[in-house]
Structure formats: structure tokens, C-alpha cells
């Protein structure tokens, strides 16, 4: 692929954004960057430093001051300084605290600055909640992913049960609805569909069908032929 564009993928949680973004990146030869991972790295940093307690109360002033020393990078695994924290940022303590952390203005500024540096040369696929609306409003391709919430909950539930976790479908459904509410009602950069985004509703699609959809899109919209 010769033209190096920015592909922004936003959408509701558990719509398979990361999986789709990774596959697109391998098809196009682009770099996949997961913006949620940076919010998670900031959260891990805050928990370790003691500025976020077990009830997710945040000492905003101290966290903000400490973040002057924080260096996060996506390689594409997530690093804090020279430490690979990819596994740690997916654990429950971080997942539980990341939502309020990602609502803080100074955290969003920190993450936005970092993400924009990666976009300078193009050739990236970035997924998140505000990539097409806020981080890269000029991205050449914006995809907004959605799916019926019952279908999303079922997929997440099946994944968790297969991984040996004991959860009820109702719990998973409630968690998804909570996250949808928080993501769309946050004061700064809430989840919104950009007016120029193309909607990908994968309620009734397999991953293979999603990839066919993407290949067609690249051909018709950009004249780019992917194998
Ligand atoms: O996609 P994820 O679950 O790894 O995202 C972690 C958190 O970060 C989630 O609460 C939403 C938030 N987030 C955000 O506010 N903006 C983004 N661009 C990406 C993630």
C-alpha cells in the first residue's frame, strides 16, 4: 500500500475494535495503536504510586504532579519507561479504576499529546473512543463500531467463561451498559460518532465478513487494492 493514511476506529466497548484494528494493521502493513492502553498505563502508574486508592479515589493534584516524570510508549506493547506493562494493564484493579482516570482533563491532554506524536507520519490504525472526533479529526478513514448490546454481552460472557471466570450473563450485561453510559456521558471528549465516520455494525457479522467489508471499502473509497 503506497498512500499512508490514518485509520481511526471508535466505538462502544466489546464491539471487537482491537481485534478488528489488529487485523486491519496486518493487512495494510500499518502500525496498530490501542489508545485505551495508554489510559490503562496512566492508571497503573497512579495505583502503584498510591495516588489512586482501592475505592478508586484519585489524589488528582499528586497524580498530575507525578505524571511529569511518566513516560509511556506503544511498541506496540505498552511500556512505562523500559518496563513492558502490557499484561499488568489488563488486570482487574486497572480495569476497575481506568474509567474515572480517563475522565480527567489533564490525563486526556497527556494521552492526546502522546497519540498525536504517533500519527505524524500516517500509516497507523488507532482504536479508542475519541480518535476520529478529537485525536485525529482529519483522519482520512473513520470507522465507528457498534453492535447490539445483548450480542456484545454474550460474546464477552462466552470469552470469560472459556477463560475459566465465574460470572453471570446479567453481570456482564450490566457492566457493558455501565461502560456505554460512562463513555457517552463523560464531560470531556465523550464517545460520539464523527459526522464523517462510516458505521460498522457487526451484530450479525463474522470477523471474516468484517474483513471483506474493509477490503471493499479500501478499494471503493481509496482505490487501494489489498490482498
Ligand atoms: O478500550 P479499553 O477498555 O482498553 O479502554 C480503557 C478505558 O479508557 C475505558 O474506560 C475508555 C477509556 N478510553 C477513552 O476514554 N478514550 C479512548 N480514546 C480510549 C479509551
- Tell me the best of 102, 137, 143 to mutate to test the pocket of ligand 1, counting ligand atoms within 8 Å of each CB and taking the most: 102
Report, as an integer, the average pLDDT of 4-25: 95
Report, as an integer, the average pLDDT of 29-50: 97
As a whole number of angstroms, the distance between CA 110 and CA 174 comes to 30
Report, as an integer, the average pLDDT of 132-158: 96
37: confidence class by pLDDT, cuts 50, 70, 90? very high
Cis peptide upstream of residue 76 (ω within 30 degrees of 0): yes
pLDDT reported for residue 96? 86
CB of 156 sitting under 6 A from ligand 1: no
pLDDT at 86 over 90: yes
pLDDT reported for residue 202? 97
Task: Quote the ligand 1 centre to 130 CA distance (angstroms).
Answer: 9
Superfamily name with CATH number, domain 6-208: P-loop containing nucleotide triphosphate hydrolases (3.40.50.300)
CA 56 to chain CA mean position, Å: 21
Query: Which residues are 143's β-sheet partners?
Result: 9, 198
Task: Quote the ligand 1 centre to 163 CA distance (angstroms).
Answer: 22
Q: Name which residue sits closest to atom 9 of ligand 1, judged by CA.
A: 99
Short-list 83, 120, 102, 105, CA closest to 38: 102
Amino acid at each position: 500500500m503506497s498512500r499512508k493514511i490514518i485509520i481511526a476506529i471508535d466505538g462502544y466497548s466489546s464491539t471487537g475494535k482491537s481485534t478488528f484494528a489488529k487485523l486491519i494493521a496486518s493487512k495494510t502493513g500499518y502500525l496498530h495503536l490501542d489508545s485505551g492502553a495508554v489510559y490503562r498505563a496512566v492508571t497503573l502508574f497512579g495505583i502503584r504510586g498510591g495516588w489512586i486508592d482501592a475505592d478508586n479515589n484519585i489524589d488528582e493534584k499528586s497524580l498530575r504532579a507525578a505524571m511529569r516524570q511518566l513516560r509511556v510508549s506503544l511498541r506496540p506493547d505498552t511500556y512505562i519507561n523500559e518496563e513492558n506493562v502490557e499484561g499488568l494493564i489488563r488486570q482487574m484493579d486497572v480495569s476497575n479504576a481506568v474509567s474515572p482516570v480517563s475522565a480527567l482533563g489533564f490525563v486526556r491532554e497527556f494521552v492526546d499529546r502522546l497519540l498525536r506524536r504517533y500519527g505524524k507520519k500516517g500509516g497507523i490504525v488507532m482504536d479508542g473512543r475519541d480518535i476520529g472526533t478529537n485525536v485525529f479529526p482529519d483522519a482520512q478513514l473513520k470507522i465507528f463500531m457498534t453492535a447490539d448490546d445483548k450480542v456484545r454481552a454474550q460474546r464477552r460472557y462466552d470469552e470469560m467463561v472459556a477463560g475459566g471466570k465465574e460470572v453471570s450473563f446479567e453481570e456482564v450485561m450490566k457492566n457493558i451498559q455501565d461502560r456505554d453510559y460512562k463513555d457517552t456521558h463523560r464531560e470531556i471528549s465523550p464517545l460520539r460518532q464523527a459526522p464523517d465516520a462510516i458505521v460498522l455494525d457487526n451484530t450479525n457479522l463474522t470477523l471474516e465478513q468484517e474483513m471483506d467489508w474493509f477490503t471493499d471499502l479500501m478499494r471503493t473509497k481509496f482505490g487501494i487494492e489489498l490482498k
